[in-house]
A and B are shown apart, each in its own frame.
Chain A
Amino acid sequence: MSHFRYTPRTFLRECSMVLIGLIWLIPFFLLINISLKPGGFEVYGSPFQLPSKPAFGNYSTAWQGSAVGSLGHGFVSSAIITFISVFFLIVIGSLTAYTIIRRGGRGSRILIVLFTFGLVLPVQLGTIPLYAEMHELGLIGTYSGMILLYVGLLMPVTVFLYAGFLRSLPPDYEEAARVDGASPLRIFFRVVFPLLRPATGTVAILCGLIIWNDFFTPLIFLGGSSHATLPVVIYGLVAGLGTEWNIIFAAVAISIAPLIIFFIFAQRQLIRGYTGGIKA
């Protein structure tokens, strides 16, 4: 923990950590290994033995999916819903948080409590009447319905994150702009919003990940439709594949590949986003 520790003990610690790390790695190894196994008995053979001949074809089979939906469609759906939802969350959420923080006073405190409350509220209870309501409005199975849903569900998180950041933003810049005669709207978009970039990054990543990986809500609201998101498509795919683990794993690998790539590039930003609250 400090640099004055002797290396033999540190070496031991390093070895045990590497060991645990390797255990953590096993599922990834299995994923790739099994996904490349050609069909038939080899799939059920030793899980750690490398495939006799890597069957890259598994990936194209997985990609095409089934009658339920293809991975390609899933990707497109997930992308559309995620990006548009995040966009609205950022615009509306930042504006809302800004108003709450800058107006201050009792109303502001009540609103903050309300939004914090919304953070812990489980989604299940509200989903039931929402489903009925949206069914009546014909929004089931549509992109706009899903987007509306996510913007509403993740608004508390977004406002919470922006509010935290805004509290520590000195009002000096805005006051300078006010002295210069700018309107509140202009001040927000030209002065404040650019300053919010770190928070926007965190919101985009956190909310983006939540939406992209979400399963329960799309299962209910998009299940069976052609607009099913990636997790729902995978669920349907696996149900039809039984124990064809090689294809299943190929599908899983394809679906998590963009996330892995994202992780490699955005790791620091990710960690900063999740641990931002520690300094508080």
Chain B
Amino acid sequence: MPALLDSASPVSASGEGTRPPSGGRVPRLGLRRTQGPRRVPWLWIVPGLLVAVAIQFYPVISGSYYAFTRWSGVGPSHWVGLHNFSLIFSDPQALGSLEHTIELGFAFVVIANVLGLALAVGLGRALKTRNFIRALFFAPVVLTPLATSYIWAYIFQYTGPLNGFLSALGLQSVEQAWLGSPTWALWTILVVLVWQNTGLSMVIYLAGLQAIPAELDEAAAVDGASSWYRFRRVTLPMLLPAILINLTLTMVYALRVFDQILALTNGGPFGASDTLATEVWKQTFVNNNYGYGAALALLLTVLVLIIAGAQFGFVAWFNRRSAR
């Protein structure tokens, strides 16, 4: 049954044969066009596309609109142009939350990646307890962040284990009211984030390390390179895909931190540990300043998009460069 003969392409008189279904171009696997009737109908994307647009894309656009209004959430909104934004940039509270968002973001990205890589390298191949330790570091990743944050709330208490430990070491002077200190409150959040999420970057680096053929390290060793030299010149460059994935994941995650802050400090003391995400929550759903909250949210969105865009751009530039 000549079912594969495309009815649309005629057999030429000289018998050269039909054009191949892909129109003569070498088809890229997976995106090869199917031809003829009974193709997969575009109609099928409607439910998925519809719900994504209705719940995510359209609200983002309308939210961006509301950022330029004053609104209480019910009833009509009033256009105020850039007023909300000038408020943001003149309000130390809002600016502080922006600052904290960026600080926390970068600090987390650096620590999670360096520590994650160090742990992955440390676990290596030869360790006997490897699987157990890997499970230990990875377990917090799947647990509810809000719930496990409470354990840390207990640890950071003034009368809690951390201070107790410091005092046992004779370091009473270092003891703090961690959660209530304007200087330290934000960094307690960092500690919690690191504990909860380093396991993920570690696991990704582990997979990246395993993807490197052992022969390369062996060849470098036989050629006289020290462990550090091998790591720097052979392992690290080949880890680039894993590094990029981790950078994106950690950055995007850190900028949106919310649960942990609500559990530990609620943004305090006096906004010392507020981030854009918690500010949005407070202004919109506690103070009913929907317009102002939307402006803050827009700021956060733009921030994330700039950083994510920069990362994608870097990856694209790097790929083009190394293909040369």
Kindly report which residue of chain B lies nearest to residue A129, judged by CB atoms: B62
The number of residues on chain A lying at the interface, defined by a beta carbon within 8 Å of a beta carbon of chain B, is 109
A122 close to B297 (CB less than 8 A): yes
* A124 to B203 CA separation, bound complex (whole angstroms): 29
> Among residues 289 to 307 in chain B, which have CB atoms less than 8 Å away from a CB atom of chain A?
290, 293-294, 297-298, 300-301, 304-305
Interface bits A159-186 vs B (CB < 8 Å: 1, else 0) = 1000000111111001000110101100
> Among residues 101 to 133 in chain B, which have CB atoms less than 8 Å away from a CB atom of chain A?
119, 121-129, 132-133
A-side contacts of B56, CB under 8 Å: 118, 121, 126, 152-153, 155-156
- Whole-angstrom distance from the CB of A263 to the nearest CB of chain B? 5
A-side contacts of B161, CB under 8 Å: 30, 47-48
B151 close to A128 (CB less than 8 A): no
A215 close to B64 (CB less than 8 A): no
B-side contacts of A188, CB under 8 Å: 40
B-side contacts of A2, CB under 8 Å: 125, 214, 217-218, 221
* A68 at interface by CB-CB < 8 Å: no
* A174 to B277 CA separation, bound complex (whole angstroms): 46
Q: Which of A102, A118, A166, A277 contacts B57 (CB 8 A)?
A: A118
* A80 at interface by CB-CB < 8 Å: no
Identify which of B11-19, B82-90, B139-147, B173-181 touches chain A: B139-147
A-side contacts of B40, CB under 8 Å: 98-99, 102-103, 184, 188
A267 close to B135 (CB less than 8 A): yes
B-side contacts of A155, CB under 8 Å: 48, 51-52, 55-56
B-side contacts of A52, CB under 8 Å: none
A111 close to B135 (CB less than 8 A): no
* A153 to B206 CA separation, bound complex (whole angstroms): 30
B-side contacts of A271, CB under 8 Å: 138, 203, 207
Assess A111 versus B63: contact at CB under 8 Å? Given A153-B55, A178-B3, A215-B258. Answer: no
A169 close to B30 (CB less than 8 A): yes
- Whole-angstrom distance from the CB of A42 to the nearest CB of chain B? 13
- Whole-angstrom distance from the CB of A26 to the nearest CB of chain B? 8
B208 close to A278 (CB less than 8 A): yes
* A148 to B52 CA separation, bound complex (whole angstroms): 10
A277 close to B245 (CB less than 8 A): yes
* B281 at interface by CB-CB < 8 Å: yes
Assess A128 versus B44: contact at CB under 8 Å? Given A230-B144, A267-B138. Answer: no
- Whole-angstrom distance from the CB of A200 to the nearest CB of chain B? 15
* B73 at interface by CB-CB < 8 Å: yes
Q: Which of B30, B127, B262 contacts A101 (CB 8 A)?
A: B30
- Whole-angstrom distance from the CB of B224 to the nearest CB of chain A? 15
B-side contacts of A128, CB under 8 Å: 59, 63, 66, 280, 284, 290, 293-294, 297
Assess A24 versus B137: contact at CB under 8 Å? Given A14-B129, A93-B48, A108-B31. Answer: yes
Assess A179 versus B3: contact at CB under 8 Å? Given A98-B40, A220-B285. Answer: yes
B-side contacts of A141, CB under 8 Å: none
Number of A-B contacts (CB under 8 A): 310
- Whole-angstrom distance from the CB of A135 to the nearest CB of chain B? 8
* A143 at interface by CB-CB < 8 Å: no
Kindly report which residue of chain A lies nearest to residue B60, judged by CB atoms: A126
* A133 to B54 CA separation, bound complex (whole angstroms): 11
* A20 at interface by CB-CB < 8 Å: yes
* A25 at interface by CB-CB < 8 Å: yes
Residue among B135, B151, B211, B294 with most chain A CB within 10 A: B151
B-side contacts of A92, CB under 8 Å: 47-48, 51
Q: Which of A34, A103, A179 contacts B42 (CB 8 A)?
A: A103
A-side contacts of B95, CB under 8 Å: none
- Whole-angstrom distance from the CB of A277 to the nearest CB of chain B? 6
Interface bits A26-57 vs B (CB < 8 Å: 1, else 0) = 01001100100000000010111000000000
Assess A124 versus B32: contact at CB under 8 Å? Given A118-B56, A132-B290, A148-B55. Answer: no
29 intermolecular pairs with C-beta atoms under 8 Å apart: A2-B214, A3-B125, A14-B127, A17-B127, A21-B129, A24-B140, A27-B148, A46-B164, A96-B44, A96-B45, A98-B44, A105-B31, A105-B33, A111-B45, A123-B256, A124-B297, A126-B63, A127-B297, A132-B74, A151-B51, A155-B56, A166-B30, A184-B39, A184-B41, A213-B144, A215-B144, A231-B144, A245-B154, A278-B204
Query: What is A's interface to B at a CB cutoff of 8 Å?
Result: 1-5, 10, 13-14, 16-18, 20-21, 24-25, 27, 30-31, 34, 44, 46-48, 92-93, 95-105, 107-108, 111, 114-115, 118, 120-133, 135, 148-149, 151-153, 155-156, 159, 166-171, 174, 178-179, 181, 183-184, 188, 209, 212-213, 215-216, 219-220, 230-231, 234-235, 238, 245, 248-249, 252, 255-256, 259-260, 262-263, 267, 270-271, 274-275, 277-280
Query: What is B's interface to A at a CB cutoff of 8 Å?
Result: 1, 3-4, 29-34, 38-42, 44-45, 47-49, 51-52, 54-57, 59-60, 62-64, 66-67, 73-74, 119, 121-129, 132-133, 135-140, 142-148, 150-152, 154-155, 159-161, 164, 195, 200, 203-204, 206-208, 211, 214, 217-218, 221, 227, 241-242, 245, 248, 252, 255-256, 258-259, 262-263, 276-277, 280-281, 284-285, 290, 293-294, 297-298, 300-301, 304-305, 308
Task: Give 7 closest A-B pairs by Cβ, nearest first.
Answer: A152-B55, A96-B48, A126-B59, A167-B30, A275-B207, A125-B297, A155-B52
